[in-house]
Structure 1
Amino acid sequence: MTDRLAGISAFVQAAEAGSFALAAERLHLTRSAVGKSIARLEERMGTRLFLRTTRRQTLTADGQALYDHCVRALAELDAGEAALSAARVSPQGRLHVSAPVLFGRRCVAPVLLELASRYPKLELQMSFTDRVVDLVNENIDLVLRSGSLRQAPADLVARKLGEQTMTLCASPAYLARHGTPQTVAELAGHHGVLYAAGRREAVWPLTDHTASMRTIAIKPRLRFDDLETIVAAVKAGAGLARLPCWLVADDVRGGSLVRVLADTPGPRIDIHLAWRRTRHLPTRVRVAIDMLAERLPPILAKGSRGAQL
């Protein structure tokens, strides 16, 4: 395979220096080596790049066009080397990350605290909110978002970390009193502890025995906009709830919660990490992306086998 960069540095130096001799001096090569390198480049390009006389050396029209492109290409290579060099420098400065309240506190914060401990010059700021944030106006470096990002702004870069799988849960005491639903249709007779913000209708999308997606209206005995409160209410026997697998995996394993209709599939919620599109990503942001992308997918997958939404 032809080395497409062969001779480019010598060509650019010769064009800028105005002579092969001076270019050879700058490149720590012999004049003959520079001349041969450029001759091979001219042969590969199929055109003369320099007009040479005993007194002066100038670029041909083709040579000038190639020079303009080569200068930009070498600048990109320099930028790439600078980025790699920066990656070896210890991350420093303020890193502002926004995440959903509970997922942020339980899953994201421990990872970033470890990152801050690893890099003493890193200043960590975390914002926990379930609302959509504006990265530019709120000066946020990274944001974790749930749901589809098909219509994400063009100035954002998004990386999918995994899927948040939900499962129906109840306490053993509640199921002993009211029975364990065996089908989606049987859920209609049960009380629900629902996550509800504002006046949104309390419904659960589930796949029934015909493999068709149905929206199930649950008797909303209790409504909260906080998942930890919902878990506490369900463990106290208040009813059924739809909760993230990663949140209830330990309770299910310990027996304080029981999964209901665990084999009934449903839609899954994508979790993305997003940041502003920029030519040179700061080292502090890059290391945070790498660490979150490594640590969060296993957390999201925790207890999700056979789970349903």
Structure 2
Amino acid sequence: MKTIPSPDNLLAFDALARAGSFTAAADLLDCHKSLVSARVKALERELGAVLVLRSTRKVALTEAGERLRPHAARLRETMAQARMAVDQTQSDLAGPLTISTTSSLAQYVLGPALSEMAALYPELQLSLQVNNRLQDPVADVLDFCLRSARSHTVHDESLVARLAGYASENLYASPAYLARHPAIRQPSDLAAHRLLVMESEQRDGLLLKKGEQLLRQPVGAQLYLNDYPLRADLALTGHGITLLADYAVARHLQSGELVRVLPDWHCDYWPIYLVHPFRTPLSRKYQTFIDFVLPRVAAALPDNRAQPDSDGRASNTR
């Protein structure tokens, strides 16, 4: 099997063919002339042919060298075009960006930020994938994921997780629902109410926290829901009490459409991360997205206790 010629050796030969001497070729390549000589000799060994006739003052190409010359020139041009293509990708603020997040974060947090960004940067092609499944940006070919992280950790060292802030989850209901049902003064009163929760929350009981006090409150549920927007809609129309993140209820609390149930008790608290593959250096498009979206995500989280530019780890979605 014949040896495939080294690109570095072909580029050295191309520089020699263009410059006419080893010294001038070294100047073109910004290296020592001994390196040019060594690479041309290596190329002759790889191809099994004499390419250059050397003299004390100048070099001349053999017939084989003349036939090789245009191919070496095309390699140089291809390499230059490859560099230009990558440089353009790194510097352009255009083209596709694919982002994944959960249904609740898409509706209440990320969607408005992306809409604003699309209007400001019309050359970008922003694609938002809504998926409550934990996604891997590398395996799923995504540029960014906005994740809720219940376990507070990320296990994949190939990812960068930038901490946007924190969210909390608590119990909410509409005033109309609460007016029609018994008063709720303590966690045990929940047993007499209709809860709209996930199956795991019903099975394990609701974890409630008050200062240092923790308890698992058993609840009964007829309807299991793992989608925040649907939970919010049902709670707003008086169908029961549900768990919602603070970012999902902010405007409903302000309008009085929902009220907090057991306000002294908290249910959960977790960080939210903007996750992307580990890439250095970041392209202009990537860096612009991070600089634009991260502070807006942070501002949309009412219980934000994080610095938007800090790094962290994440692992789970909600």
1:87 and 1:122 mapped to 2: Cα distance? 12
Larger relative contact order, structure 1 or 2 (CA cutoff 8 Å, min sep 6):
2
Of residues 151, 156, 159, the one that matches 2:162 is 159
Whether the 8 Å CA contact 2:170–2:267 is kept in 1: the answer is: no
Tell me what 1:244 maps to. Answer: 245
Q: Distance in 1 between matches of 2:139 and 2:31?
A: 47
Aligned-residue offset at 1:88 = 10
Aligned residue number for residue 262 of structure 2: 261
Contiguous gaps of at least 5 residues in structure 2: 1-29, 33-86, 306-318
Aligned-residue offset at 1:93 = 1.8
Q: Which residue of 1 aligns with 2:175?
A: 172
Q: Which residue of 1 aligns with 2:110?
A: 108
Q: Structure 1 residue 121 and structure 2 residue 144: aligned?
A: no
Distance across 2 between alignment mates of 1:17 and 1:146: 52
Consecutive unaligned residues in structure 1, runs of 5 or more: 1-15, 19-84, 305-309
- Counterpart CA distance in 2 for 1:303 and 1:135 is 25
How far apart are the structure 2 equivalents of 1:187 and 1:301? 26
What secondary structure is seen at the aligned counterpart in 2 of 1:137? coil
| 225 and 301 in structure 1: CA distance in 2 versus 1, 3 angstrom threshold | same
Report the more deviating stretch, 268-277 or 258-267.
Answer: 258-267
- Paired position in structure 2 for 1:193: 196
**Which deviates more from structure 2 when the two are superposed, residues 251-260 or residues 156-165?**
251-260
Aligned residue in 1 for 2:212: 211
Distance in 2, Cα, partners of 1:244 & 1:180: 23
CA distance 1:289–1:88, change in 2 (3 Å): same
Q: Letter of the aligned partner of 1:234 in structure 2?
A: A
Checking the alignment, whether the CA contact within 8 Å between 2:91 and 2:285 is kept in structure 1 is: no
CA contact (8 A) 2:207 2:214 kept: yes
- For residue 119 of structure 2, give the secondary structure of its aligned residue in structure 1: helix
Q: 1:87 to 1:134 in 2, by over 3 A?
A: closer
Q: Give 3-state SS (helix, strand or coil) of 2:300's partner.
A: helix
Q: Provide the TM-score with structure 2 as the length reference.
A: 0.62
**Contact 1:195–1:230 (CA under 8 A) maintained in structure 2:** no
Deviation at 1:154, TM superposition (A): 0.8
Letter in 2 for 1:218: V
Post-superposition CA distance 1:146-191 (Å, at most 9, x none): 1135233110011111111112111222222223322223223322
User: 1:97, CA displacement in angstroms?
Assistant: 0.6
Alpha-carbon distance between aligned partners in 2 of 1:200 and 1:92, rounded to the nearest angstrom:
47
Deviations 1:200-244 (A, max 9, x none): 836321115x73222222111322232222222222322211111
- Percent identity (aligned): 27
1:30-109, aligned counterparts within 5 Å? Answer: 89-109=91-111
Alpha carbons of structure 1 residues 17 and 129: separation in structure 2 relative to 1, 3 Å = closer
Change in CA separation of 1:236 and 1:17 when aligned onto 2, cut-off 3 Å: closer
In the alignment, which residue of structure 1 is the partner of 2:284? 283
- Alignment partner of 1:181 is 2:184: yes
Q: How many Å separate the matches in 2 of 1:94 and 1:233? A: 36
Q: Does the 8 A contact of 2:208 with 2:217 survive in 1?
A: yes
SS of 2:107's partner is helix
1:89 Cα deviation after fit: 4.5
Contact 2:90 2:282 in 1 (8 A): no
Residues 146, 270 of structure 1: 8 Å contact kept: yes
Partner of 1:299: 300
Residues 118/242 of structure 1: CA separation in 2 closer, same or farther (3 Å cut): same
Q: Does 1:229 align with 2:230?
A: yes
> Letter of the aligned partner of 2:154 in structure 1?
Q
Runs of 4 or more off by more than 3 Å in structure 1? Answer: 85-90
**Structure 2 match to 1:64:** none
For 1:106, the aligned partner's letter is: Y
Instruction: Give the distance between the partners of 2:224 and 2:158, measured in 1 at CA.
Output: 37
Tell me, yes or no, if the aligned pair for 2:99 and 2:143 is still in contact at 8 Å: yes
**TM-score, scaled to structure 1:** 0.64
State the aligned residue count.
222
Question: Partners of 1:290 and 1:188 in 2: how far apart?
Answer: 46
Letter in 2 for 1:214: L
What is the alpha-carbon distance in structure 1 between the residues aligned to residue 127 and residue 234 of structure 2? 32
CA-to-aligned-CA distance 1:51-90 (integer Å, 9 cap, x gap):
xxxxxxxxxxxxxxxxxxxxxxxxxxxxxxxxxx989955
Q: Secondary structure at the match of 1:176?
A: helix
Partner SS for 1:219: coil
